[in-house]
Amino acid sequence: MPHNAQFLTDLQGGLIVSCQPVDDGPLDTISAIVAFAQAARNGGARALRIEGADNVAAVAGACDLPIIGIVKRDLPDSPVRITPFVGDVEALAAAGATVIAIDGTDRPRPVPVAELLAAIHAAGCLAMADLATEAEAKLAKQLGFDILGTTMSGYTGGPVPDAPDLDFVAACRRLGGVVVAEGRYNTPAAAASAIAAGASAVCVGSAITRTEHVTAWFRGAVDDAVSRSEATVLALDVGGTKTLAALVRNGKILDRQTIPTPLGVGTDAWFATIGALATGWQGRYAAVGAAVTGVVQDGHWSALNPRTLAIPDRTPLVQRLTALFGVPAIAVNDAQAAAWGEYRHGAGRAQDMVFITVSSGIGGGIVLQGRLLQGANGLAGSLGQTLGARGAERLETRASGFGIAASASALGHASTTHEVFAAVESGLPWAEALLDEAVEDLAVALGDLQRLIDPEVVVLGGGIGMLPQFRDRLITRLSMQPDRLRPAIRPAALGGDAGIVGIADLCHAP
C-alpha cells in the first residue's frame, strides 16, 4: 500500500517507542497505553510498537502515529512468543497496525515464518522480523521481510547481556533495507550508537514505558552508591617527611597513626613498614588509597622532585599495595587527592577550585565542573614544578619549606623552616626578606594560574601555607592584582587530613 511504502521512508533516522507496560502492573491498562502513545508522539516519536489487538485498536483511534503491532503468547510447546499465529496477524491488521512484527528466529514454532509473512502481506501490512542472529537476518531478507529487527539478540538462550548488540545492527545494515535496532537501548547514548552502527531507526521500550524497570535501575544505582560511600577505606598519605595512615568512612576519620616517611622508598622493607601501619585494622577496610608526593601514572609512581622524596622511577605502587593489603587499591598525587578532599568536604565544596599546598614541597590539584583533573601524565596542578622569572629553578625549589630553609642556610643563618619562621616572628630583616621572596614567587605563579584556569577559589593548605605569617603576606601581595586577575584565597578546611579524606573519597568514585 502506498502509505505503507511511505512509512519506510519516513522511519529513517527516527525513534520508535514501544508502549508495553509491565504485565499485570498498575500501568497495564488500555487507557495508560494510549496515554503513553500520545506522550511519545508529543516527544517526537516516529512510530509506536504496541502489543495486543485491543491495544492497537485503541491507540490507532487516539493517535496518528503508525503502529508496529505484535501479539505475545506463552506457548507450552514453543519458545516463540511474538505473533505466533496467522489469527494474530489478521487481528492486528484489522485493528489498524501499519506493520506487523513476528518472531523470526530459527526455533520450533507452531506456524512457519514464511506462512506468517504471506499472511501479513496479504493483509496489506508491512512485515518486520524480530531476529537474533545474522543467519536469521539473511533468511528473513531472502523471504522478503520489509524490516529487519535486532529485537531477539541475547534473548534466545544463555545469560542476557547488559549492552545492546551493535555488531548485529551493523551486520543487518550490510544486508540492505530497513533495520530497526531494538533490545536494551535504555539510554540516549545507546540509541545514538545504534544510528552510528547503521540502524534506520531505534526502538526504545523499558526506559520509557516500564516505570517499574526504570525505578529499579535508579534504586540499584542509589543503593550501590550508598554501599560504596559507607565502605571504610585504608587511606595513606605519603609525604616527603611524614606518612599518615587512617581508616576513613564517608569523609570521617575513624582511626589514624603517623610515622616519619621511611627511607628506601619502593624497597621491600619500605613496603613492609607501610604495611605495618595497618596492623590491627585487618578486616575493617574494603579498599586502600594512597595519596603520594610525586606523580602517579597508570598505577606507577615516580618522583617529580627527588629532593622532596627519592622515588625509584615507575615504582608499581598500585600493584604492590593491592598485593600487600589484599584489597583493591588506587594511588593519586597527594595534592590532587587533597584537592578532591577540599572539594568534596572542605573549603572548595561544589566550586571550580584549585588546591595549592605549600609544605616541604609545593603541589596542587584542580577540580573543574565536578571532575578532578589528573592530566595525560598525572601532572595536572603541579604548580611547584613551574619555572619562574628568576631562571630555570622550579617554584618548589625557591618557595617551599625546603627551599626557604636552603636559602637561609646559604646565607649562613638558621637551616630549618621552623627556625626561619621564628626569625620572621622576631622581625629579623634577613628572614623577612627570604619570606617575602618566596611569597612573591608564589604570588606570580598564582596570578598566572588564575589567568589560565580562572577558578572560583584557590584553597591554600600545607604546613607553610597555613601559617598566618605566610598566608597574610601572600594575600597582601595578591591584593595588588586587578580584581579579575586576583585569586580568591581561602584557607584549607581539612588541614593535613585533606589528602586522606580525598583519596578515600576517590576510592568510591565511579
What burial letters (b/e) apply to 447-469, b meaning 16+ CB within 10 Å? bebbeebebebbbbbbbbbbbee
Which residue is associated with the grid cell 531476529? 131
Please tell me whether residues 192 and 285 are part of one structural domain: no
- Determine the distance from the C-alpha atom of residue 366 to the mean position of all C-alpha atoms in its chain, rounded to a whole number: 17
309 vs 316, higher pLDDT: 316
Is residue 1 over pLDDT 60?
A: no
In a domain, 163, yes or no: yes
Strands 287-292 and 489-491: unpaired
Contact partners, residue 167, CB within 8 Å, separation at least 6: 197
Residue 414 scores a pLDDT above 50: yes
Considering the domain architecture, whether residues 333 and 379 belong to the same structural domain is answered as no
How many C-beta atoms surround the C-beta of residue 379 within 10 A? 15
Least confident of 217-231, 420-434, 482-496: 217-231
365-382 pLDDT per residue, tens = 999 999 999 999 999 999
Angle 188-197/166-175 helices, nearest 10 degrees?
30
Residue 398's pLDDT is what? 86
Gap between the Cα atoms of 348 and 236, Å rounded: 22
Q: What's the Rg (C-alpha) of the chain?
A: 33
- Mean pLDDT (the chain, rounded): 94
How far is the C-alpha of 309 from the C-alpha of 296, rounded, in Å?
14
Q: Which residue has the cell 533495520?
A: 179
190 and 258 part of one domain: no
How many folded domains does the chain comprise?
Answer: 3
Q: What is the pLDDT of residue 307?
A: 78
Half-sphere exposure of 182 (CA within 13 A, CB side): 29
Pairing of strands 178-182, 201-204: parallel
* C-beta of residue 493 within 8 angstroms of C-beta of residue 460: no
Q: What pLDDT, in 10s, does the model give residues 142-199?
A: 999 999 999 999 999 999 999 999 999 999 999 999 999 999 999 999 999 999 999 9
> pLDDT class for 2, splitting at 50, 70, 90?
very low
Query: 362 and 238 share a domain?
Result: no
Same domain? For 329 and 421 the reply is: no
Q: DSSP state, 22?
A: P
Task: Please indicate, yes or no, whether residues 55 and 157 belong to a single structural domain of this protein.
Answer: yes
Residues 436-460 have a mean pLDDT of 95
Mean pLDDT of 313-332: 96
pTM: 0.62
Flag whether pLDDT at 239 surpasses 90: no
**Pick from 367, 439, 353, 359: nearest CA to 402:** 359
Residues 6+ apart with CB under 8 A from 427: none
Q: What is the pLDDT of residue 510?
A: 67
Domain hosting 296: range is 231-346
**pLDDT tens-digit series, residues 261-284:** 999 999 999 999 999 999 999 889
HEC string of 434-445 equals HHHHHHHHHHHH
Whether residues 246 and 355 share a domain: the answer is: no
Looking at the domain assignment, is residue 58 inside a domain? yes
d(CA 294, CA 304): 5
Three cell numbers at 280? 590491627
The reply to whether 102 falls in a domain is yes
Looking at residue 361, what is its pLDDT?
A: 85
Of 319, 346, 373, the residue at which a domain comes to its end is 346
Rounded Cα distance between 384 and 362, Å, is 5
What pLDDT score does 281 carry? 93
3-state secondary structure of 137: helix
Boundary of a domain, candidates 185, 217, 249: 217
Point out which residues pair with 489 in neighbouring strands.
458
The CATH number that applies at residue 291 is: 3.30.420.40
Final residue in a domain of this structure, among 217, 241, 269: 217
Task: Kindly state whether residues 41 and 156 are assigned to the same domain.
Answer: yes
Q: Is residue 473 domain-resident?
A: yes
Within a domain: residue 500?
Answer: no
Residue 501 lies in a domain: no
Q: Are residues 9 and 146 in the same domain?
A: yes
Residue range 27-60, pLDDT digits in tens: 999 999 999 999 999 999 999 999 999 999 999 9
Q: Which distant-in-sequence residues (6+ apart) come within 8 Å of 242 by Cβ?
A: 258, 259, 260, 261
Region 342-368: what's the mean pLDDT?
94
What angle (nearest 5°) sits at the alpha carbon of residue 344, between those of residues 343 and 347? Answer: 50
Nearest partner of 357 among 308, 423, 408, judged by Cα: 308
pLDDT tier, 241 (very low <50, low <70, confident <90, very high otherwise) = confident
Q: Distance between CA 168 and CA 180 in Å, rounded? A: 11
Task: Kindly report, residue by residue over 97-125, the tens digit of the pLDDT.
Answer: 999 999 999 999 999 999 999 999 999 99
Residues 334 and 359 in one domain: no
Residue with cell 589567568: 451
Residue with cell string 617529580: 304
Using pLDDT thresholds of 50, 70 and 90, give the confidence band for residue 80: very high
Q: Are residues 317 and 440 in the same domain?
A: no
| Domain contains 222 | no
Which CATH number fits the domain that encloses residue 100? 3.20.20.70
For residue 484, the model assigns a pLDDT of 87
The C-alpha cell at 127 is 512485515
Letter for the amino acid at 85?
F
CA 406 – CA 418 distance, rounded (Å) = 12
Sheet holding 252-260, edge to edge: 252-260, 242-249, 233-238, 287-292, 329-333
- Calculate the CA 361 to chain-centre distance: 31
pLDDT per residue as tens digits for the range 379-411: 999 999 898 655 568 898 889 998 999 999 999
Residues 21 and 37 occupy one common structural domain: yes
Q: Contact 305/334 with Cβ under 8 angstroms?
A: no
Q: Which three cell numbers stand for residue 223?
A: 543503593
Total number of residues shown for the chain: 510
pLDDT for res 388: 63
Q: How far apart are CA 275 and CA 80, in angstroms?
A: 58
260: in domain: yes
Distance from C-alpha of 468 to C-alpha of 10, rounded to nearest angstrom = 70
